[in-house]
Structure 1
Amino acid sequence: MLGLSALDLARIQFGFTVSFHIIFPAITIGLASYLAVLEGLWLLTKDRAYRDLYRFWSQIFAVNFAMGVVSGLVMAYQFGTNWSYFSAFAGGVTGPLLAYEVLTAFFLEAGFLGVALFGWNRVGPGLHFFATIMVALGTLVSATWILASNSWMQTPQGFEIIDGRVVPVDWLKVIFNPSFPYRLAHMTVAAYLATALFVGAAGAWHLLKGENTARVRTMFSMAMWMALIVAPIQIAIGDQHGLNTLQYQPAKIAAIEGHWRNEPGAKGFPLILFGWPNMGKQETEYKVEVPHLGSLILTHEWDGQIRGLSEFPAADRPDSTIVFWTFRIMVGLGMLMLLLGLWSLWQRARGDLYDSRLFLRFAVLMGPSGIIAILAGWLTTEIGRQPWVVYGVMRTSEAVSNHSALALSLTLGVFIVMYFLVFGTGLYYMLKLIAVGPQDLGPERPAPDIDLSGNTPLHERPSRPLSAAPDVSI
């Protein structure tokens, strides 16, 4: 396929499946916590808007959760099919970490998900709220184990290599490796921010349609508060994450910055805003730069310097052309998110939060920006780690299975067709649910009596797994 090697195709295939998968856990993490907040506010205030929003967004959560599970299974199988040498070498660390994720987070989520989705009129309010919190906690625990595994691959420690295999000798060091806290915080906050933008876009879209109801105003207002609070926090976390990466993966930072060399006698180095890193010429062409700003951001010193990419062996250099731009896409969208939050504060102060059509259109356009930023950040992280699959320990070329380019081309084509059919249908269904919008479900009905004979009235039974909330009333 297009002259690509088996290694290139294996990487593209894994990148494609992970790119689809990462969307769903991110929204799942954010929506689970959002549902817990909504139910807590409903119990505290008895404002029906919060309850109606819970029932509405629980439908989206159910579909999203299902697609996340399916896409995650495919991704997990690829460790054995396409990356068997990696699994044999590092499975002593990554295998248990992924198993812990299943034994703790997935069972926790699955165990309480049914109660959260179908138990609104079947269990007491306290138990239902507890179930919602457990689902939210499960999503965070899941992220913790997955990011512990990925972070170990980025900054490995706590292991020895015995007979050609990784053997963990200190699990605390394996899990709490140097980059783990920064990656966990960065990804979790990114999930909350992406969900806030997603919910905010839905609210803005309904407001633009003239559906200025209490439920729509509530979800839009909550989303804008979240964007305002979380966007600057994410920028601060990103700065600390960058400093950690500079310490442990300096070649990645040099590639991200498009910084090739320190000129003799020069003090400090500029921040290249735009340009085109040329790997062959070992320079960044057509660059627009700000003097000394790179030094201030990365060393917090006016005259500070970092190693240039040309100082690393050619075989150890990430592709600067790609990560230079994926990083700028992520940062650029982050600045727009901050602008959205500040603009919402200005509109709120003017009493025009729900009526400014220009602002509402901007909020709709920003809806997918959180997901795009997550994808751009993930590409920056993973491509910037190359040519290592376990940084400084195992090269990616040593990890790939012995498959032909033809076989990988065919399976990649099948993946592309099936993913767009299956997950495209799921995304279309979610967007249709969002287009309906939150409905006024009326006053709460008491929980029905338990009928051990199985003769529960039909209107009290869930009709199918995705019917997490009835269409009209409860």
Structure 2
Amino acid sequence: MAHFLDTVVLSRIQFALTSSFHMLWPVLTTGMGIYLVLVEGVWLRTRNISYYHHARFWTQLYLLNFGIGVASGLPMEFQFGTNWAPFSEAVGDFFGSILGFEGSMAFMLEAGFLGIMVFGWNRVPGVIHYLSTIMVAFGANLSTFWILTANSWMQTPVGGELVNGKFVVKDYFAAIFNPAMLNSVAHMFLATLETSLFVVGGISAWYVLNRRHPEFFGKSLKIALAVAIVVAPLQIAVGHESALHLRENQPTKLAAMEAQWETLPAGEPAAYTLLALPDSEHEINPWSLEVPYGLGLILDLQPNLQKPVLGLKDFAPENRPPLIPLIYYSFRVMVGIGFFLAALMLVSTVQWLRGKLADDQITGQTWLMRAWLFAAPLGYIAVEAGWIVREVGRQPWTVYGLIRTSDAASHVPATDVLGSLSLFTAIYGILFVSALHFGRRILLHGPNLELPPPGLGSQSARTEMVPDRRPTEVSA
């Protein structure tokens, strides 16, 4: 009990709670923003009214996620001053400016144009409205860029040095473009987009299963599938590059991800541990299921390792990540979901090519629609699991190799942190229930297919709209 009444432990739990909860919402807005840009662009290009109705329907879910994201994100950032003041004081010259860029460049851009995107359909010209949608999507993804830039610097801190306990920036651009930045941004960008695509596809599948507007939601599912054909395999490739990066820059994290206790020397074959039961106390895996030559093939594309893979025993216990089983299985959950989504994309593409996703066929694809419905929350789980690997695997450092987590926490009474943690838990629980309630209302109500598009000042103009009522239309 005394261990859990420790200020550092409670501060870490609180930040884990707030960041994990907050992450659920911008994950969807960053990806769905791109989806809205796509469908509105097609609407302006083709004047097919179905795409206009798609833009209006999915914007409702975007707005809901944006609101919960703002409400949960601002308190999270305040913790850098309340719970992690020594960290902020030490690295604020760089870290604080990056978060400032995120707020002033990205969040303000997204928030500033959001009102036009939501309420400006009949108030501004179509090209201005489309520009607003683009700016909202750009702002959401620019926010991801700056946040991942700050976090990747914490993973691979370069561009300066600690002087008397304060990080002095000597090369600002080197700090921004640190070794982990490009891969981190790409991996998270693809994760948010892939999650959003399968949420859109899963919701569409739910409507198809319930035979509610199957033509309309068959279209949105095929749009999501068309983009996922590129995104799903690309995410796997970028994830592979992440492992290669860890081998060079964070070997303790890679060892924890693989529960690798002993160093594997170069020039020898290395098996991949598919499943294991890591025992941190005895520094062994008493049970494991291995794939011969697997690790060498994954890391070096050949059976024998070209470079050694360091084991956890090569590092002092105080410099190893904690909770090895959590890191080990979180990594496998993330990877397993990534391959499942790619497999679902492949099977769905085959069915599409066979004509099974046509308007008059899609309602008969019960098993496929159920698979998409099952996949809808998996992206969230994969993102959360990947963030556990990223953050817990970085421990015991807040800034890897420079500032320990135990030295980064504020010196406040543990009871105060316990009180704020309890309050955050209650408030975030209310926010989560509220989001489910309003999301359910949006889904039960469904799209308004009678909503007239903007700019139709005459009956003749109305007749020029493509009605999208053909029962055999199969294009997305």
Q: TM-score scaled by structure 1? A: 0.91
Quote the Cα distance in structure 1 between the aligned partners of 2:268 and 2:456.
72
Quote the Cα distance in structure 2 between the aligned partners of 1:186 and 1:383.
18
What residue number does 1:140 align with? 141
Alignment of 1:241-260 (within 5 A): 241-260=242-261
Q: TM-score scaled by structure 2? A: 0.91
Quote the Cα distance in structure 2 between the aligned partners of 1:431 and 1:194.
19
What residue number does 1:458 align with? none
Measured after TM superposition, the shift of residue 300 of structure 1 is 3.0
What residue number does 1:472 align with? none
Is residue 222 of structure 1 aligned with residue 231 of structure 2? no
What residue number does 1:453 align with? none
Quote the Cα distance in structure 1 between the aligned partners of 2:59 and 2:43.
14
1:9-66 per-residue CA deviation (whole Å, 9 max, x = no partner) reads 1111100000011111111101111111111000011111110010011111111111
1:201-249 per-residue CA deviation (whole Å, 9 max, x = no partner) reads 1000000001244321111111222223211000000001110111100
Deviates more, 1:346-355 or 1:11-20: 346-355
SS at match of 2:261: coil
Quote the Cα distance in structure 1 between the aligned partners of 2:227 and 2:374.
17
What residue number does 1:467 align with? none
On the 8 A contact 2:264/2:311 being kept in 1, the answer is: no
Measured after TM superposition, the shift of residue 274 of structure 1 is 0.6
SS at match of 2:286: strand
Match of residue 434, structure 1, among 443, 451, 454 = 443
Is residue 307 of structure 1 aligned with residue 310 of structure 2? yes
On the 8 A contact 1:273/1:289 being kept in 2, the answer is: yes
1:66-125 per-residue CA deviation (whole Å, 9 max, x = no partner) reads 111111101001111111111111111110001111111112112211111100011101
Alignment of 1:113-152 (within 5 A): 113-152=114-153
SS at match of 1:167: strand
What residue number does 1:460 align with? none
On the 8 A contact 1:330/1:376 being kept in 2, the answer is: yes
Go from structure 1 to structure 2 and tell me whether the alpha carbon gap of 1:447 and 1:149 turns closer, same or farther (over 3 Å shift). Answer: farther
Amino acid in the other structure paired with 1:347: Q
Q: CA RMSD in A?
A: 1.7
Quote the Cα distance in structure 1 between the aligned partners of 2:254 and 2:103.
33
Measured after TM superposition, the shift of residue 442 of structure 1 is 4.2
What residue number does 1:192 align with? 193
1:243-275 per-residue CA deviation (whole Å, 9 max, x = no partner) reads 011110011001101111147899222111111
Alignment of 1:42-57 (within 5 A): 42-57=43-58
SS at match of 2:162: strand
SS at match of 2:273: strand
Quote the Cα distance in structure 2 between the aligned partners of 1:400 and 1:334.
35
What residue number does 1:21 align with? 22
Is residue 347 of structure 1 aligned with residue 351 of structure 2? yes
On the 8 A contact 1:49/1:214 being kept in 2, the answer is: no
On the 8 A contact 2:3/2:9 being kept in 1, the answer is: no
Is residue 446 of structure 1 aligned with residue 451 of structure 2? no
Match of residue 415, structure 1, among 414, 424, 438 = 424
Is residue 164 of structure 1 aligned with residue 170 of structure 2? no
Go from structure 1 to structure 2 and tell me whether the alpha carbon gap of 1:173 and 1:409 turns closer, same or farther (over 3 Å shift). Answer: same
Quote the Cα distance in structure 1 between the aligned partners of 2:437 and 2:174.
43
Percent identity over the alignment is 38
Match of residue 380, structure 2, among 371, 374, 383 = 371
Deviates more, 1:37-46 or 1:294-303: 294-303
Amino acid in the other structure paired with 2:316: P
SS at match of 1:284: coil
Quote the Cα distance in structure 2 between the aligned partners of 1:210 and 1:363.
15
Go from structure 1 to structure 2 and tell me whether the alpha carbon gap of 1:170 and 1:441 turns closer, same or farther (over 3 Å shift). Answer: farther
SS at match of 2:302: coil
Amino acid in the other structure paired with 2:382: A
1:107-153 per-residue CA deviation (whole Å, 9 max, x = no partner) reads 21122111111000111011111111111111121111111100000
On the 8 A contact 2:207/2:214 being kept in 1, the answer is: no
Go from structure 1 to structure 2 and tell me whether the alpha carbon gap of 1:421 and 1:246 turns closer, same or farther (over 3 Å shift). Answer: same
5+ unaligned residues in a row in structure 1: which ranges?
449-474
SS at match of 1:360: helix
What residue number does 1:333 align with? 337
What residue number does 1:11 align with? 12
Go from structure 1 to structure 2 and tell me whether the alpha carbon gap of 1:445 and 1:228 turns closer, same or farther (over 3 Å shift). Answer: closer
Measured after TM superposition, the shift of residue 432 of structure 1 is 2.4
Measured after TM superposition, the shift of residue 436 of structure 1 is 2.4
Deviates more, 1:292-301 or 1:354-363: 292-301
On the 8 A contact 1:93/1:168 being kept in 2, the answer is: yes
Deviates more, 1:394-403 or 1:343-352: 343-352
On the 8 A contact 2:121/2:454 being kept in 1, the answer is: no
Go from structure 1 to structure 2 and tell me whether the alpha carbon gap of 1:111 and 1:399 turns closer, same or farther (over 3 Å shift). Answer: same
Amino acid in the other structure paired with 1:310: K
What residue number does 2:467 align with? none
Amino acid in the other structure paired with 1:357: T
Quote the Cα distance in structure 1 between the aligned partners of 2:128 and 2:382.
36
Quote the Cα distance in structure 2 between the aligned partners of 1:138 and 1:419.
25
